[in-house]
Structure 1
């Protein structure tokens, strides 16, 4: 960490991505004084009012805001209560008169502090750029995978005063998921600035609802945004927040004056009434507003009747730096006055208020989508993460916890949640999140299970974990749930017509018979058959292989376009091509060797800078098309599968082109892999971009597996590296002179080092006892067993 003094500000540079609870030790103060602290992954965020936030997508057990203000009155320790999930930069600005001297500026880490140069898994070679790129995924996984209990409870519960809630995206009760046209009453007391609450807020994502905020007369901080948060008023909005944040649409619809001065430390009774198409708010029986929601437009196509819906749960939060108490919550049907909810908010047990509102500390370890944003367990994004873990951090305990959480949230239909949150208990919340209160998309209700093809990627995450670890106990324990999940998918194969999988939606590509989702399902069927064989579920293994055979025939019959030399993206888009289709149709084995060669030749139609767009549906002349390290990462595995000189050149070019920008610019580099990249090599979604995203870390496992050449043997025999393969051919195709790597296996550490000199390769392998392997290079094959150290040379 480095600290620079700039006029009345300190600039703190952490070097790489960090996460935790900020703290400051004050040496002396002449004041009182106030400081404004900003946190950001990208340096330029410190120049913006909201830094690189806010992040109101989910509660996420972290500070919604990336700016917070502290008043300092005396020397001593100041500890921030709310977590900052990920940052590299921090600024501390004195915003009042007076002076303050810091003895230290620090973080209490919320993730295990690791040195990526000293992980259980490692990789290095004679190309220093590749060495730094390998570290990107390792660091992203290390700060995105969190220990049990490390993400602390966000509300403080007082048996007398109720819930003390700091400014945050509102925590929502699961018990209100199916409420509609209700009246909500509660007592509140402002501690700082004001308080916020939401109504008609669906648990199902995309979770957008009615936003309300009561702004007090006294604004204690000099940097308070009094234009947006006008004192003695109530803000009325819809969406995620009151301000837009890139993809998180928000509408500040109106501001209404409160007919009296709203004082600090004074209890008020707030009443919100949802009545058909109207909403009203009163305080202590004094009317503040009563309006028709049809007067406000948030996009006419969003709702069936063009009116903001009054269906969904409620919760409590606040704007940046606000804080206050809530208690005595009471809700009833507006029309017939029937009580539907009552809670004093005074139960301070772990199974009380904080559990119901989703603000309880994480009771299990979890691998999140990213440390600063989208801090959810994204089902489909975990595939890259578990592979990265297998070649770097070896935190298989956190990977297993993540998979266990997914099956804990599974619904009776077999569907897994696509993004379960951290702070809720699945026993209480799974049904509410799956079906509780719908959002709207293009006039249609959308419930919690979206992106159905993420179910496929979730299955692949499970099978990848089993393949790496040989954790057959976990496979047996959860098998019925994964079987049920796969059954949902195979039930959507149109066996009476095309024989192809069709889903109600998809991320990977077209959902109706698309080649990407069908080839991904083929890979999942094959992998599940291997796991079934390992745990002696023979009938399942046989069934999956039979389905795989018929699906392979359907894919090649219906989707192969001989003229293009590619699989069509779908039957309705025969001339379209996609990166995911190319990747999964190769790695699943749907494409023959000859077809795979032709597939890779079509990549030029997808090439932009710094590499490949997702599909031909995106215009190559559009400078705003984003490049995804996630989808390009799947392509890396497809290139490895070919293992030719041509694919080696393509592999090296792709890795260098797309991932070098992540390490080359000090202001945007976090030492971790990014979420998206634009065509100029910058963060693809601007400040909103997650600059520590394991889904972008594919080179970490590809370099270990393909360049150093360590991988498991195919099939069940390779589970846990019981049998392994060392094949450095791709490293030679990429022009390297030496490489070394190690991985943690179910039986111990497996290491390899190879070095080329004057046409001779010297190879050293250290292997766990009771394992066997094969060394393959060109026409040379060596069977290695019965020992734990092997050293030999191979003439090229």
Structure 2
């Protein structure tokens, strides 16, 4: 009888395509094309022509008479894709020899039914503000948009020109902007006997692909020419990046309306909403509006408010330059002149607020913020095309020039923070925010390490934040939560562009740095960051109160779950995070790169002190769980208790009790997936939301705390089950930002359907079901321990990328036994841990070709291979 059991797993892992081959000619499709025609409206012939790469046949959209509806076609790409929209026109027929074609997109099917798709998204300049590209077609051939659409499954093409007209389109889709390597060809891989889990792993990996933008692949939202200045087409206003402290000034520029109108902002500060002036020009005349917000069309969470409007009697000619000036003095009314003629005055706001508070206040036409300082921005409203040149901003009353530019060289892109992305970035969401937030990498980074291995993207985010950081060991301060993707990092870093400085975001970034270092062994980056990390820790120490706990307020207390309300005061989660960070920093301080044992010892001591204080001061014995904050004592918070378990702040005697309280999150709605807060939570009562990022941390903590496998499995399946339903109108083959208690995207079309927050299963399956984790930086030491047993899963296999090559693991359980195989790069120190439920059934263990050992922990030889068989 053979000493070992033979694997009976069908097939083998596909050969990977490594990062240096990702953009090889044979792997990039020239165009991404739809796979199905969903529906048509109006007069549309041969719509299936769009499914072919051939240019021989065309779909024809015709509008014969004024009573005809605008003809349109909705096409399906099957899964979410990213790229620059394009159409190939084979013929046009119109009295004007031109037609207008709208190309709208949406992640979910409900959004494609809307005129403008599922947008707009004016928060950042990381992609097209609009979710609709407008093609003004005057000739046959290829026509492409200027901006990226980051994630969409659905496309709707509409002929919007008035009758009579027709257009023949032989191809429509996207020029790829991100990697499209099949997920089963990635450097990392996971397969198991449960196909649904294999697919779920791939959905997380695909989400990572859509969010990773190589350097210099995000086009600026403006086009610059030497003689005609800046061209803007339907893009949000972007402000000069060093004007946030300006108070009283007059801003002037030349503006030229090509179509629809133009827009500008004053006293714009740090990427927050601001005073927005919107000029609309049409056959009836000109209208000037003052808004509070980012854009003249709403995003679900960033709804602009129209404050006032005036009809402009001064003639505004399309295609002609006009001189616009705006006077801002104290709280006096804004004064607008066009061609030196005063055309309007608008009163200023009456609500005093700044920073993140500007996003949370209730605004109407009578009550809106007064912002005393801020910069000047230019842009366009929806379906508007315009030009700007010759901007001058003068201080009042001194007439000192604060800024001047012809707006006719590429330097203007740097001035306004809208250049090409200098670093590779990983975004929070492929559709929105399209911003390289650092907090989102807390889960997304680990998924990347286990799948695409695109570590340069995480490094890009980290370096960008470090270059913006003003903190140091001598100057305590917080770490930036990200950087506008178009930032020019060669410029002075005293800019006033958008920046989030909060304790939690800083702590997340330190953990992101720690994880990056652990998975890559990149000591150079650690050395770059360390002085700034020490400055952040010094700042946090200043917030520690007499009870040895961090207490934060205002912007310091901000976090990513803005919809749940800010956690001011002593937040249990914040202090658990702080303990986690102190321990991570102790390991980094003790590394060869930093070599500061004294600091490492001090950090561990502070971590122990804070952990003890959390247990003594934040645990609520009457409730049997920990408080949310010192002023929010009713309600069980999912993520708080996950971090408490991961840090082992929860003592052994309380673990069963705390684990039991997680069941209070599971409501009877949908499929009993856990909510972020228990329904009895008060002060305030947060909305009932299923949070995949919180659930991923929850699952990781449950595995760490040795929760029953069946309970962990239930949480995993229930949270991500709606995203896996291919029959759902929301299916995209990617993972969603958050959900309602009914399992639908929270906040509807606003929800990001390809979001780093939600791709945790990819990491969790590789780390806990396949079982591979680094124990030392760069996987110099690693462990293979398939510690999470999922019902019905009888085998798993996969690859885990490391800086030295891939670790390949296969395991299988049969009626007669269990077998595991490891093949790793030579020179790494590995250990295999036999799962408890396998070890408890052991009658015999065979290592290799016959060596019998008695320990459940087995050392992988320096040759990198190990075979172990457990017989039942």
Q: Aligned-pair distance for 1:701?
A: 0.4
Q: Aligned-pair distance for 1:415?
A: 1.6
Which sits farther off after the overlay, 621-630 or 364-373?
621-630
Q: Which residue matches 2:35?
A: 2
Q: Aligned-pair distance for 1:481?
A: 1.7
1:462 matched to 2:517? The reply is no
Q: Which residue matches 2:169?
A: 102
Which sits farther off after the overlay, 25-34 or 399-408?
25-34
Could you tell me how far apart the structure 1 residues matched to 2:285 and 2:822 are?
Answer: 70
Could you tell me how far apart the structure 1 residues matched to 2:519 and 2:349 are?
Answer: 55
8 Å Cα contact 2:288-2:311 kept in structure 1: yes
Change (3 A) 1:770 1:292: same
Could you tell me how far apart the structure 2 residues matched to 1:245 and 1:703 are?
Answer: 35
1:594 matched to 2:649? The reply is no
Could you tell me how far apart the structure 2 residues matched to 1:700 and 1:474 are?
Answer: 25
- Stretches of structure 1 that go unaligned for 5 or more consecutive residues are 219-229, 437-447
8 Å Cα contact 1:253-1:296 kept in structure 2: no
- In the TM superposition, what whole-angstrom CA distance separates every residue of 1:231-267 from its partner, at most 9, and x where no partner exists? 5111211112223322113111222111144222211
Q: Aligned-pair distance for 1:26?
A: 1.0
Q: Which residue matches 1:503?
A: 552
Q: Which residue matches 1:142?
A: 209
Change (3 A) 1:307 1:753: closer
Q: Which residue matches 1:399?
A: 458
Structure 2 counterpart SS, 1:18? strand
1:78 to 118, 121, 143: 143
Change (3 A) 1:511 1:543: farther
Alignment of 1:53-202 (within 5 A): 53-60=119-126, 62-96=127-161, 97=163, 98-202=165-269
Could you tell me how far apart the structure 2 residues matched to 1:305 and 1:335 are?
Answer: 28
- In the TM superposition, what whole-angstrom CA distance separates every residue of 1:526-575 from its partner, at most 9, and x where no partner exists? 11111222222222211211111111111111122344332222333444
Could you tell me how far apart the structure 1 residues matched to 2:177 and 2:368 are?
Answer: 44
Q: Which residue matches 1:43?
A: 109
- Stretches of structure 2 that go unaligned for 5 or more consecutive residues are 1-33, 42-70, 353-357, 840-855
1:657 to 718, 733, 741: 718
- In the TM superposition, what whole-angstrom CA distance separates every residue of 1:435-466 from its partner, at most 9, and x where no partner exists? x9xxxxxxxxxxx4444211111111110111
2:786 to 720, 728, 732: 728
Q: Which residue matches 1:377?
A: 436
8 Å Cα contact 2:120-2:298 kept in structure 1: no
Q: Which residue matches 2:870?
A: 794
Change (3 A) 1:702 1:457: same
Alignment of 1:242-253 (within 5 A): 242-253=296-307
Q: Aligned-pair distance for 1:64?
A: 0.4
Could you tell me how far apart the structure 2 residues matched to 1:587 and 1:728 are?
Answer: 18
Change (3 A) 1:325 1:729: closer
Could you tell me how far apart the structure 1 residues matched to 2:753 and 2:578 are?
Answer: 30
Structure 1 counterpart SS, 2:207? helix
Q: Aligned-pair distance for 1:296?
A: 11
Supply the RMSD in Å over aligned alpha carbons.
Answer: 2.5
Q: Which residue matches 1:769?
A: 826
- In the TM superposition, what whole-angstrom CA distance separates every residue of 1:179-235 from its partner, at most 9, and x where no partner exists? 1132111111112221111111112x5x011111222235xxxxxxxxxxx751112
Q: Which residue matches 2:481?
A: 418
1:612 matched to 2:671? The reply is no
Question: Aligned residues, how many?
Answer: 758
Q: Aligned-pair distance for 1:623?
A: 11
1:29 to 92, 95, 102: 92
Change (3 A) 1:762 1:300: closer
Structure 2 counterpart SS, 1:151? coil
Q: Which residue matches 2:801?
A: 744
Q: Aligned-pair distance for 1:329?
A: 0.8
Could you tell me how far apart the structure 1 residues matched to 2:750 and 2:514 are?
Answer: 32
Could you tell me how far apart the structure 1 residues matched to 2:104 and 2:704 are?
Answer: 45
Could you tell me how far apart the structure 1 residues matched to 2:208 and 2:652 are?
Answer: 33
| TM-score (normalizing by structure 1) | 0.91
Could you tell me how far apart the structure 2 residues matched to 1:154 and 1:749 are?
Answer: 40
Q: Aligned-pair distance for 1:618?
A: 6.1
Structure 2 counterpart SS, 1:425? coil
8 Å Cα contact 1:216-1:261 kept in structure 2: no
Q: Which residue matches 1:709?
A: 771
Q: Which residue matches 1:277?
A: 332
- In the TM superposition, what whole-angstrom CA distance separates every residue of 1:497-540 from its partner, at most 9, and x where no partner exists? 21111122142773422211111111111111112222222222
Runs of 4+ in 1 over 6 A off after TM superposition: 295-306, 620-623
8 Å Cα contact 2:243-2:496 kept in structure 1: no
- In the TM superposition, what whole-angstrom CA distance separates every residue of 1:47-88 from its partner, at most 9, and x where no partner exists? 11332111111222x210112322223211111112212211
8 Å Cα contact 2:235-2:379 kept in structure 1: yes
Structure 2 counterpart SS, 1:729? coil
Structure 2 counterpart SS, 1:169? coil
